[in-house]
């Protein structure tokens, strides 16, 4: 029988703990606990065995069952095409879109800025390098093309580069710039004389007015998003009379907001009504970030503005700015002099529109030697003028040759004067 002997201090006595002694309970307790652990281990082993046995029977059963199912051979040399269900006719919406695309797509082009160069000095092969791309459309029977100014703007920083358009049949042609209008983000191009396509390919876009558009009307866009040529999308006119900023940092008024999906590369492409007629030129999108894509908010310059600006560019090679033939006083000096409203004419250009209408600038009284105030412009066509910024904004809405009504304050009198807008 096992015993454990313990040393005790001097004067003590030897003490032995025997297995069957009353004070030997710790040994008995350890023996009991060990027996319980053995029982638990046996049960776990038994359960694990049952699980493994069940898994074995399941595997054998599935194999036997699969063996009863005949498997098709992996290859069948006699395989035939599946019969396809004949397509039903187009509904009215589809028919409208299909006909519109067939009608307008031959008029839409890709506009690319390109050059040709060697990639490495020791390789004599010439490669084409593309700097930017956008969209455009044929404007008239003479082969003029309309696009956005910002699509070709980089050309002015790359003098050795050239412009190329790719037509719907994928033929590429060199084009030249006829005129640009950065204030309206528009440009007019024309096929180069030495690379003019056949007349049968010149198919201009049909034009309609934009002043009578209504929110909710259908709008279609065709263009070159991300280089994907002749992509058509559909939406509605979401709002009218929006304002966006041009490449010249001026405001473009009367812009159309629409929901047809447009993305980088759509710029300069046409916005169309359901008949395939031009109602605007796609120009910009609202995005959630610098590199984000379309979120359903696109902007197009209205066709009425496009028609006017493009005609000016074709006639003059540049956009004539509306001009009344006046110079204005500094606004801060005017307010310090206690003129609390309007803008004051400082000088009238001799022979200009204001001079012909009898308007006056600041004049010196030859009798007293004192300066007399010029006419104050309080409104243009009924719209109030409270600052030079107001005057410039309203002036940009006028067109050369148009008649404008100015509300004038001269001394104690207030009256209206009709002025024929000039161009400069």
Interval 383-404: pLDDT, tens: 999 888 889 889 988 888 889 9
Q: What is the three-state SS of 254-323?
A: EEEEECCCCCCCCCCCEEECCCCCEEEEEEEECCCCCCCCCCCCEEEEEHHHHHHHHHHHHHHCECCCEE
* Among 112-116, 162-166, 191-195, 347-351, the least confident range: 112-116
- Catalytic one among 112, 185, 273, 375? 185
CB of 240 closer than 8 Å to CB of 271: no
Q: For residue 253, give Cα distances in angstroms to 182, 256, 309.
A: 14, 9, 13
* Among 22-36, 89-103, 155-169, 243-257, the least confident range: 22-36
Residue 2 in this model has a pLDDT that exceeds 70: no
> What is the per-residue pLDDT for 397?
83
> What is the per-residue pLDDT for 127?
66
> What is the per-residue pLDDT for 300?
96
For 355-391, write each residue's pLDDT tens digit: 999 999 988 877 777 888 999 999 999 999 988 888 9
Residue labelled with tokens 């995005």: 287
- Catalytic one among 107, 135, 150, 273? 150
For 99-144, write each residue's pLDDT tens digit: 999 999 999 999 998 877 666 666 666 666 777 889 999 999 999 9
Classify 215 as helix, strand or coil.
Answer: coil
* Among 52-66, 190-204, 290-304, 409-423, the least confident range: 52-66
Residue 22 in this model has a pLDDT that exceeds 50: no
Residue with the bigger pLDDT between 85 and 60: it is 85
Of the candidates 293, 305, 309, 212, the one whose C-alpha atom is nearest the C-alpha of residue 254 is: 305
> What is the per-residue pLDDT for 33?
46
Of the candidates 269, 277, 206, the one whose C-alpha atom is nearest the C-alpha of residue 233 is: 269
> What is the per-residue pLDDT for 20?
40
Average pLDDT over residues 232-242: 94
Please confirm, yes or no, whether 267 is among the known catalytic residues: yes
Those residues with Cβ within 8 angstroms of residue 361's Cβ, 6 or more apart along the chain or in another chain: 326, 327, 345, 346, 347, 348, 374, 375
Instruction: For residues 260 and 295, give the distance between their C-alpha atoms in angstroms, rounded to a whole number.
Output: 10
- b (16+ CB within 10 A) / e for 184-196: bbbbbbbbeeeeb
Domains of the chain and any CATH numbers: 107-196 (2.40.10.10), 218-316 (2.40.10.10), 322-423 (2.30.42.10)
- Catalytic one among 267, 273, 303, 375? 267
Main-chain phi, psi angles of 293, to 5 degrees: -100, -160
β-pair partners for 128: 116
Kindly state the helix (H) or strand (E) to which residue 388 belongs, with its residue range.
Answer: helix 388-396
CB of 285 closer than 8 Å to CB of 297: yes
Please confirm, yes or no, whether 212 is among the known catalytic residues: no
Residue 337 in this model has a pLDDT that exceeds 70: yes
For 40-65, write each residue's pLDDT tens digit: 778 888 888 888 888 887 877 776 66
Please confirm, yes or no, whether 150 is among the known catalytic residues: yes
């Amino acid at each position: 029988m096992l015993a454990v002997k313990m040393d005790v201090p001097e004067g003590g006595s030897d003490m032995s703990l025997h297995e069957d002694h009353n004070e030997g309970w710790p040994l008995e307790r350890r023996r009991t606990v060990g027996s319980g652990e053995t029982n638990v281990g046996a049960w776990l082993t038994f359960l694990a065995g049952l699980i493994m046995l069940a898994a074995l029977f399941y595997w054998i059963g599935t194999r036997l069952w699969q063996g009863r199912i005949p498997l098709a051979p992996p290859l069948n040399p006699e395989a035939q095409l599946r019969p396809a269900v004949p397509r039903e006719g187009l509904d009215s919406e589809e028919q409208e879109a299909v006909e519109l695309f067939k009608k307008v797509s031959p008029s839409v082009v890709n506009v690319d800025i390109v050059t040709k160069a060697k990639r490495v000095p020791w390789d004599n092969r010439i490669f084409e390098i593309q700097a930017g791309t956008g969209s455009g459309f044929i404007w008239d029977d003479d082969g003029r093309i309309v696009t956005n100014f910002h699509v070709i703007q980089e050309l002015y920083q790359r003098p050795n580069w050239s412009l190329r358009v790719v037509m719907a049949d994928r033929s590429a042609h060199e084009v030249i710039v006829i005129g640009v209008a950065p204030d309206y983000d528009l440009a007019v191009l024309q096929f180069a004389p030495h690379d003019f396509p056949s007349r049968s390919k010149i198919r201009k876009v049909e034009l309609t007015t934009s002043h009578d558009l209504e929110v909710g009307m259908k709008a279609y866009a065709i263009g070159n998003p991300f280089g994907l040529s002749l992509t058509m999308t559909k939406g509605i006119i979401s709002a009218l009379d929006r304002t966006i900023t041009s490449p010249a940092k001026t405001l473009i008024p009367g812009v159309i907001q629409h929901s047809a999906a447009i993305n980088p590369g759509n710029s300069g492409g046409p916005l169309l009504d359901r008949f395939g007629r031009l109602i605007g030129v796609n120009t910009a999108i609202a995005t959630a970030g610098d590199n984000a894509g379309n979120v359903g908010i696109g902007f197009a310059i209205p066709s009425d503005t496009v028609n006017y600006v493009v005609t000016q560019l074709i006639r003059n090679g540049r956009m004539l700015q509306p001009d009344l033939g006046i110079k204005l006083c500094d606004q801060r000096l005017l307010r310090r002099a206690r003129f609390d409203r309007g803008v004051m004419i400082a000088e009238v250009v001799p022979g200009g529109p204001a001079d012909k209408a009898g308007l006056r600038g600041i004049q010196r009284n030859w009798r007293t030697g004192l300066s007399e105030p010029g006419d104050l412009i309080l409104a243009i066509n009924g719209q109030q003028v409270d600052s030079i910024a107001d005057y410039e904004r309203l002036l940009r809405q006028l067109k050369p040759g148009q008649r404008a009504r100015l509300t004038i304050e001269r001394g104690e009198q207030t009256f209206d004067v009709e002025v024929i807008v000039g161009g400069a």
